[in-house]
Copies of this chain bind each other. A is one copy, B any other.
Amino acid sequence: MLKIPSHQVAGHHASNGTRGPLVDDSGRFYKPLKGDERGSSEVTSYKQLSSNAKVPDHICTFFPIYYGTKVMNASDGSEHPHIVLEDLTSNRENPTIMDVKIGSRTWGLEASDEYIAKCLKRDRETTSVQLGFRISGLQIYINEEVGFYKPARDLVLKSSLDDVRLLFKKFVSSGPFEETVLGPDRGWASLVYGGPNGILAQLLELKAWFEDQTIYHFCACSLLFMFEKELALEGGSPNAQVKIIDFVHVTEGRGVIDHNFLGGLCSLIKFISEVVGDHEDHITQDGDAQ
């Protein structure tokens, strides 16, 4: 029972006549392999990352599980090889999701001049050069009545510095973005971003590894943030999770740290810390005012 993923927020989409990712009922995600060397490079990266003993266990949990490759009926009806991965949202109801492409540079050292020019243009037009990352896509679950807020890809990519700040606040807003003087209420900031299992703690764990590891460079990869508002409403943990995805441009580190990923990651950590900090200041101010 293959179907088009419900919760994909960035990347190529499948539709009738267009080849794109598929999911099944058993929690697997099928991503069509690119025909050129990018396809084989992606397979190599997933294979290596899932089997390299030098990558510590607590870091491996940031990668989607890799199940191999499979030639199968693609979404456009053709026979085509796919990478088989863990479907990261299969166990989630109405997940709120954000895809953040990390790095101020999304082209690799060995890329052609033409490819570099194309990436550089995109990196300059989006926030990548300025912030060291860009939001590639997101969906925010509002409630049963309204469903999801899922802005169009082009709109998301046009985000300015201030738009990005706002999106990080909206991402953890508890209602349909009723704005206070200080912006969206950020009701879930402490639970989702903060705390020992929050997104910030997971990013700091990644940071510590990236400060030291010189095995791989994660060029043009994304961090995926996910959580479930409804779990939090029921008084449980929102199950906030960070994953690294899109390994097409993962390369060997040759003894050098991935300063491009690390720089962007530190910038992202600073942004999210400020949303948590502002929110806590906000709570304190309200408390004082009572």
Number of residues in A with C-beta < 8 Å to the partner? 25
Q: How far is the CB of A221 from chain B (nearest CB, A)?
A: 15
Query: When chains A and B are docked, how far (Å) is the Cα of A254 from the Cα of B259?
Result: 22
Partner of A211, one of B120, B129, B266: B266
Q: Closest B-chain residue to A217, C-beta based? A: B130
Query: When chains A and B are docked, how far (Å) is the Cα of A211 from the Cα of B214?
Result: 20
Partner of A257, one of B109, B129, B255, B267: B267
Cβ of A266 and Cβ of B259 under 8 Å apart?
yes
Given A104-B259, A255-B161, A263-B260, residue A270 in contact with residue B211 (CB < 8 A): yes
Which residues of chain B are near A211, meaning CB under 8 Å?
266, 270
Query: When chains A and B are docked, how far (Å) is the Cα of A105 from the Cα of B266?
Result: 17
Query: When chains A and B are docked, how far (Å) is the Cα of A264 from the Cα of B105?
Result: 13
Given A105-B105, A120-B120, A161-B254, residue A214 in contact with residue B263 (CB < 8 A): no
Which residues of chain B are near A267, meaning CB under 8 Å?
256-257, 259
Q: How far is the CB of A42 from chain B (nearest CB, A)?
A: 22
Query: When chains A and B are docked, how far (Å) is the Cα of A190 from the Cα of B184?
Result: 52
Which residues of chain B are near A262, meaning CB under 8 Å?
262-263, 266
A95 at the interface (CB under 8 A from B): no
A124, A254, A255, A266 pick with most chain B CB within 10 angstroms: A266
A132 at the interface (CB under 8 A from B): yes
Q: Closest B-chain residue to A268, C-beta based? A: B259
Which residues of chain B are near A259, meaning CB under 8 Å?
104, 131-132, 263-264, 266-267
Cβ of B256 and Cβ of A130 under 8 Å apart?
yes
Query: When chains A and B are docked, how far (Å) is the Cα of A105 from the Cα of B255?
Result: 20
A76 at the interface (CB under 8 A from B): no
A212 at the interface (CB under 8 A from B): yes
Query: When chains A and B are docked, how far (Å) is the Cα of A212 from the Cα of B132?
Result: 15
